[in-house]
Structure 1
Amino acid sequence: MRAATILLALALTGCTVADVPLPGGAPDGPAYRVTVEFQDVLDLVPQAAVKVDDVTVGSVEKIWLAGWTARVRIRIGRDVELPANATAAVRQSSLLGEKYVSLARPTTESARGTMTDGDTIPLARTRRSAEVEEVLAALGLLLNGGGLAQLQTINRELGTALDGREASTKDLLHQLDSFVGGLEAQKADLVRAIDALDRLTTRLADQRAVIGSALDALGPGLTVLADQRTQLTGALTALGELGAVGTRVVNATRDDLLASLRALQPTLQQLASAGDNLPRSLDFLLSFPFPPGVTGAIVGDYVNLGATADLDAAQILANLLITPPKTVQTGQSGGGRQPTPPGGDDKGNNGGTKPVVPIVPSLPEILPIGCLPVVGPLLPGWVPPQGCTVPPGCALLPPTASAPPGSLRPPGGVVPPGTVFPPGTLLLPGTILTPQCLLPKATGAVDAQRGGVADLLPGGLAP
């Protein structure tokens, strides 16, 4: 009767075993599946746990062999998020515990992406832990004479070598520590240099055929150089002697050369001051005495010429007031004085002074030389001395000031023709001349109106 009861209980138990879940695995619910490749899964079995940070998040569904690689399909809870480049390892819960699959974030690179259903963790990102049998076998090999005798010999010889050299050894260790610290501080630069060297070697490998052809082509050239070694040596020796002769000649003619250069300096300065006036004058010489383009004004046996007269009274008065009246010292000569006009002065003798009519200076000499500093350039903000005037609004602006429209910045600080300052006047390089300092330019325009002087005097020709 007791046996029958036991058999009945076993039968009932066997009927309900299929409905009871086996131990391990992940909680029930939505999940996604990932395939993991291992070199060796040890004794991992289906239904083994899948853990992340020692927390069970899934289970092993299937294990099979694909070639020489073991593949494990695992089931992970849908609420568990893993990076797409996660790593996997077969670990052991304890010394004699069960095996399980451990998933973790990558340690050698930054995490990227998100793992989804159907993804695969390749063999390069998986590993397994050492078995207890492997550890004991290695320990047994070491203890059974595998390496202890060698360690003893090494220890003894090392002690003999360092005996009496403790200070040198200590200094060596300090230097080694500094060296390793320097390498650590320059790790990024070293990695970058290695990467650059890798790219260089890659380029060289891609151009191996070209480099080989170049080396092959260098052979005949090197042969020619070797055959002409004597001639090349003689040429280099002669070149050395030529250098010695040239040095001697330069040293002997140094003073004369410097004197010639100093003599050329005024001429070169005047050429630089002339600017584009020199080529314009050369162009005018080709058609002298008529200006360039005069062929369009030649009609038959006469030439149509026109002139524009600026009869602005204000401008005339300004020009007259710029230069003070000059006086003539009578009874004396020399020193740049003007001669006494014929007939003497109003008193009938030559012993007094007489003011003469103010002379309107020519355009390039509107501002007399006596009004300018004798030494040194004009500085920004320069104000003419008493008795010297410039047109209203004419000023010297510093190089950093905003240049007004129509202003002039003389090149090299040398005033060119066409301003109220004499040509060649030195300014601080970069100084700006306001538009009021510029003289009106002659346009040379022809209005093609015919008439005489009688038509011009009343007020000009009507267009």
Structure 2
Amino acid sequence: MKRSARWKTGAVATMLGCCVLATCACTAVRPDDLPSVRGGVGASHQLGLQFASTMNLPTGADVMMDGLRVGEVESLSVAGKFVDVTVGVKDGTKIPADVHAVIRQNTLLGDTYIALDHGTVVHGPYLPPGGTVTVDHTSSPPQLEDTMAVLAYFVNGGSIQKIEDSMTGINAVMPKPRDVQRLATVVAGDMRDLAGDTNEIDRMLNGFFATGAAIDAKGQTLATLFSQPTVHYWRRTAVNIVSYISQILPSVGSVYEGGLWMVPMLNSLAATGAVGRGIWDDAPADTAALSDFLRTTVLPFAQNPSVDIRSINTAEGDEIVGDVENLMRMLGAVK
């Protein structure tokens, strides 16, 4: 029993000692002391980079250019207002002298690395070993708090709702799916017919080619037809023909030589035509009025000529129609 108790006591003491040693070891090891899984870049030379801020850039971080890992961060040190970053670059790597160094992260919580950006065409000069990229050619990463603030503003500032509203508006103006399907069906049929009639297209293109070849073969003849002497010949021919016709027909000749005297006459004819056009336009209405007058007034009077006297007044306004009726009856004019 005593031996078993001693063994248990020794085991507990050993475990406590291991825990203390492990704790001490953890407090003595820093993240920078851990070996890099990359295993370095092989033979390299050093370059200096100046940044206004490096945030959480660790030693051993990658140096990328054109999508390739060309080096790693070796050390960081504060020098006044800037941070000097020493990187090891693989030998044989040509870095343009006007390169721009940027500290980036692939994701919000991803690993930080240095990206070397340059133009599309590089013909030198290049940075020599031990060269330095000054702070005016570097860009520091944004503060994490600023990034989170921008993200929070994007989420809470209504941007997502605006995007949703925009998508709703786009969906409202876009045609209905069945219309798009019908349009796609028609287009597919047209393309199918076009693909089936490629022989006709080839024949048309061959015709264009043959026409162009024929015109090209007759280029000298066409140049002769449209040359300056030929154009002058046809112009003189037209002038001579018109001159002969003007001499044969004196009236045409007089108009041809001095037709300005016809301008007043033509203006008068135009005015007369305008008046005649007005009469022609009013003729249907006038004809209808004349026909109505003949039908309702002239014809009834011709069939039964009579005068219906309803009232006769003197200059003073006295009604004398009765006296006139008696007088006419006495004369036998009325019954």
Bigger radius of gyration among the two: 2
TM bracket, shorter-chain basis: 0.3 to 0.5
> What's the TM-score, normalizing by structure 1?
0.27
Which structure exhibits the higher relative contact order, with contacts defined as CA atoms closer than 8 Å and separated by 6 or more residues? 2
* Structure in which a larger fraction of residues adopt helix: 2
